Structure 1
Amino acid sequence: MTEPSIPGVAARPPRNHWWDVWDQFKVHKGALVGAFFFLLIVFLVLFGPLLWDIDPTKTNIRSRNQGMSWAHPFGTDQLGRDIFARMIAGGRVSMGVGLTAMALSVIIGTFVGVIAGYFKRLDGVLMRLTDLFLALPLMPLLLVTVLLFREPLSAAFGPEGGIFVLMVSAIGITSWMQTARIVRGDVLALKEREFVLAARSIGTPPRRMITRHILPNVMSPIMVSATLGIANAIITESALSFLGLGFPPDFPTWGRLLFDGVDYLTQYPERVFWPGLAISLTVLSVNYVGDGLRDALDPRIRGR
């Protein structure tokens, strides 16, 4: 039923739910600034090689340890490699690991949370499994996983491909628990809503109930969890690379650049500053975007 039109007043088009989310998101100034910096970093990472056509692995001993200049905005390292080009290449790897590991953790966490929340007989088992993973020390577990599976995966997928698969798998499999708990709580609340009870009363099968009625209504916490998961995955990958257990030395990541720059910290502190700044900006930007999405997707805040 359409609303009656008022003479002299133009009819307002119906607003989409996402327009309301955007209006609330704009109120969060930190989220806007974070979104700007995050998009800027993504743009530089994706299109940087087209704008700065220098091979990040090319060595030039005659140009080693140079300071900032027009030819090398971030200077060169001990082998004469352009640090700016290596920052761009390292960002592609770090962001790729972060996004892929986040996707894996969100998929696992959503699956566990939905199944635990909807099927009461499986709730206890899945939540105890979640508690078990939460009780495990994350970094020692990742270190053991990397040391055990690095060689077999490198032999199967190559040095870079094997480490990428290992990083994504290790980070994704050890970071799904918070998503599972959040999704489970929302599913438990949704099960008592009228539209779910009505759909169940007409014999809707569980699979259709979950895909058509449950999942669309838990997308808000999933999106927030995914946003914050990117930051956690980037930090974890950088920590492993900084410890020398990440990608090989000739394959730059932000964490690897930090690791390589530590030996020259007193002479060339900028080698640690630039990758550290990139990691900090990315993580802060993603965290602010996650905070803004959490407020914008919360109906209690949006309705104020």
Structure 2
Amino acid sequence: MTDAPMIETMEIARPPRNQWLDVWDQFRSHRGALLGAAFFAFILAAVFLGPLIWQIDPTYIDIRARNQGPSLAHPFGTDQLGRDTLARMLAGGQVSLAVGLTAMGLSLVLGTLIGVLAGYFRRLDGALMRLTDLFLALPLLPLLLVIIMLFRDALRSAFGPEGGIFVLIVFVIGITSWMQTARIVRGDVLALKEQEFVLAARSIGTPSRRMITRHILPNVLSPIMVSATLGIANAIITESALSFLGLGFPSDFPTWGRLLFDSTDYLQQYPERVIWPGLAISLTVLSVNYMGDGLRDALDPRIRGR
């Protein structure tokens, strides 16, 4: 008879569990997501810390060492100009990941802003959603090509050859990939507006700006985080496609897509030149997609509560 009150007291005294610990436990139970996160961390460490160990200039030309296979001096071999493929892979990974992360950030800012404004202010909903539908209806690749051809020279003169094309590609990918985020955020905001805590805050005269920053945005972080992971993968693929078409970075400024494009002429003689950048793109995108799947499941309260 005396044990029951003690058990009840212990249960009452148990501290509430942190929501982010539940998210981490659910994410950790997703083996694919955990493996994807570990591999993506390895890729980041390799491309940003690898050049500190493998200190070979990726632009150095050594005609005497051209078209060599894998060796101790050149683990990934050399290209037609004698440049070290491993050094170019590491340098190209820095550019590709920088483009992916920066373009993803721009896309999230645009998508979140438009989604919140459309969901919270009903008078803006129609116009912003029609704008979103218009961008969704446009053919992506031809639009990218037109924008690049129109503004490439102007940005090169303003930011330099490499800086101009970097700014242009990030801008082009960012303004053509925000639509899904905007639609998802808008739907969540419409649902949140009918919640009791939002209605209570509105009844005491909370300004719209404070309502959005304190009550709306913190509750739409889940879809934003999932969109962020998927946006990185889409940006890397888009940059690779543009570089593969010869409209991205110049050949002396390597990216994974550019390396793939430069290797297609030597596919039959040196197939490994295509394998390395293609494998890097595929595995990076696959790991990021697995991370997105894990985050989606971890942030879903219906799955987390099981």
TM-score interval (norm. to shorter): over 0.9
2:165 is aligned, of 149, 163, 166, to 163
**TM-score, L = length of structure 1:** 0.97
Q: How does 1:1-304 map to 2 (within 5 A)?
A: 13-304=15-306
For 1:123-172, what per-residue CA distance to the aligned partner results, in whole angstroms no more than 9, with x for missing partners? 00000000000000000000111111111100110000000000000000
Runs of 4+ in 1 over 3 A off after TM superposition: 4-14
- SS of 2:254's equivalent? coil
Structure 2 counterpart SS, 1:124: helix
Letter of the 2:249 partner, please give it. F
Q: 1:194 to 1:242 in 2, by over 3 A?
A: same
Q: 1:9 to 1:69 in 2, by over 3 A?
A: farther
For residues 15-35 of structure 1, the C-alpha deviation after alignment (integer angstroms, 9 at most, x for no partner) is 321110011111211111111
CA deviation after TM superposition for structure 1 residue 14, in Å = 4.0
Q: What runs of 5+ residues in structure 2 fail to find an aligned partner?
A: none
Q: 1:272, CA displacement in angstroms?
A: 0.4
State the shift of 1:36 in Å. Answer: 1.0
Q: Deviations over 1:216-244 (max 9, x none)?
A: 00000000001100000000000000000
For 2:34, give the aligned amino acid.
L
Amino acid at match of 1:72: H
Using the alignment, how far apart are the partners of 1:27 and 1:65 within structure 2? 45
Q: Name the SS of the counterpart of 1:76 in structure 2.
A: coil
Query: What is the distance in 2 between the residues matched to 1:130 and 1:302?
Result: 32
Which blocks of at least 5 consecutive residues in structure 1 are unaligned?
Answer: none
Q: 3-state DSSP class of the match of 1:228?
A: helix
Question: What's the offset of the Cα at 1:195?
Answer: 0.2
**Identity within the alignment, %:** 79
* Structure 2 counterpart of 1:101, one-letter code: A
Deviations along 1:61-103, one digit per CA (max 9) or x if unpaired, are 0000000011111000001000000000000000000000000
Q: Matched residue pairs, number?
A: 301
Which amino acid in the other structure matches residue 188 of structure 1?
Answer: L
Partner Cα distance (2:245, 2:251) in 1: 12
Once residues 153 and 221 of structure 2 are traced to their aligned partners in structure 1, the CA distance between those partners, rounded to angstroms, is 38
**Superposed displacement of residue 6, structure 1:** 5.2
Relative to 1, partners in 2 of residues 1:249 and 1:297: Cα closer, same or farther, differing over 3 Å?
A: same
Q: CA deviation at 1:12?
A: 5.2
Q: Specify the SS of the correspondent of 1:126.
A: helix
Distance 1:192 1:43, change over 3 A: same
